Amino acid sequence: MSTKKFDFIPYERETFTEDEMIERASSFYKFMNKRRSVRQFSDKDIPKEVIDNIIKTAGTAPSGAHKEPWTFCVIRNSDLKKQVRELAEEEERKNYESRMSERWLKDLEPFGTDAVKEFIEDAPWIIIVLKQSYGYDEDGSKTQNYYVNESVGIAAGMLIAAIHNAGLVTLTHTPSPMNFIAKALGRPENEKPFLLIPVGHPAEDCTVPNLQRKDIKDIAIYYE
């Protein structure tokens, strides 16, 4: 089987002085440190062009052998959002009632979460991130994807950063098991739900937990 080779082109990029790099890295950290997971959404609409560019940003993520093993299903239809919410809450009730361990439930107590997921209907847009366990060639034959979870995880992280950059909020929702989402959306067998991402403005009365993030000394080990 022949493999198509890429044409290689010069890599173009901006360059910065050391002082500029320090300033840019510091400013970006301060900006991203303001990002929070939000569960209370306004129903204020967002232009489709914003969502398009957020998803295109996620699509710039690196992936194993450049297979780009992701699909982003975007839902604005209120009836479909209601259906997804009902199915998600059905799974979440099972989680809270029997699937989650006592330790897990105890760890969730400070956040006050439960099986009710009104944000699925409240947010103007829902993005379902799906991972492609394998792909298809032009002739319909199966092709292999590599490092799927890693690739889609990186894309999801870039998606979240792009949402924050647009002045919007989100949270990562994983109503496990999530196969009901693929069925509700009529997705093919090779696509598995990875994350449910509501996108919108925070509600006027939105609150978030007063969290403290780990210090750099607790998350990084330098070998110099």
CB 55 within 8 A of CB 159: yes
Instruction: Give me 59's structure tokens.
Output: 């699509």
Q: Is the pLDDT reported for residue 71 higher than 60?
A: yes
What is the percent of the chain with per-residue pLDDT over 70, rounded to a whole number? 98
Q: Is the pLDDT reported for residue 66 higher than 90?
A: yes
Q: Is the pLDDT reported for residue 183 higher than 50?
A: yes
CB 131 within 8 A of CB 72: no
Q: Where are the beta strands (DSSP E) in 58-184?
A: 70-75, 125-132, 134-136, 142-144
- Could you tell me which residue, 175 or 125, shows the higher pLDDT? 125
**Among positive and negative, which fits the CA dihedral 209, 170, 112, 214?**
negative
Q: Cα–Cα–Cα angle for 137, 139, 140, nearest 5°?
A: 65
pLDDT at 177: 83
- pTM of the predicted structure, to 2 decimals: 0.94
Between the alpha carbon of residue 43 and those of residues 76, 77, 109, 161, 206, the distances in Å are 11, 13, 27, 21, 13
pLDDT at 1: 46
Q: What is the 3-state secondary structure (H, E, C) of 94-112?
A: HHHHHHCCHHHHHHHHHHC
First to last CA, the chain: 45
Between the alpha carbon of residue 147 and those of residues 66, 153, 187, 205, the distances in Å are 10, 10, 21, 41
Q: Domains in the chain, start-ordered, CATH in brackets? A: 37-203 (3.40.109.10)
Cα-Cα-Cα-Cα dihedral of 32, 38, 41, 45, to 10°?
30
- Could you tell me which residue, 79 or 183, shows the higher pLDDT? 79
pLDDT at 147: 98
Q: What is the pLDDT of residues 115-167, one digit of tens each?
A: 999 999 999 999 999 999 999 998 889 999 999 999 999 999 999 999 999 99
Q: What is the pLDDT of residues 74-109, one digit of tens each?
A: 999 999 999 999 999 999 999 999 999 999 999 999
Which phi and psi (to 5°) does residue 183 adopt?
-65, -45
The mean pLDDT value of the chain amounts to: 95
What is the percent of the chain with per-residue pLDDT over 90, rounded to a whole number? 92
Instruction: Tell me the sheet residues that pair with 131.
Output: 70, 192
Q: Is the pLDDT reported for residue 36 higher than 80?
A: yes
Q: What is the pLDDT of residues 43-63, one digit of tens each?
A: 999 999 999 999 999 999 999
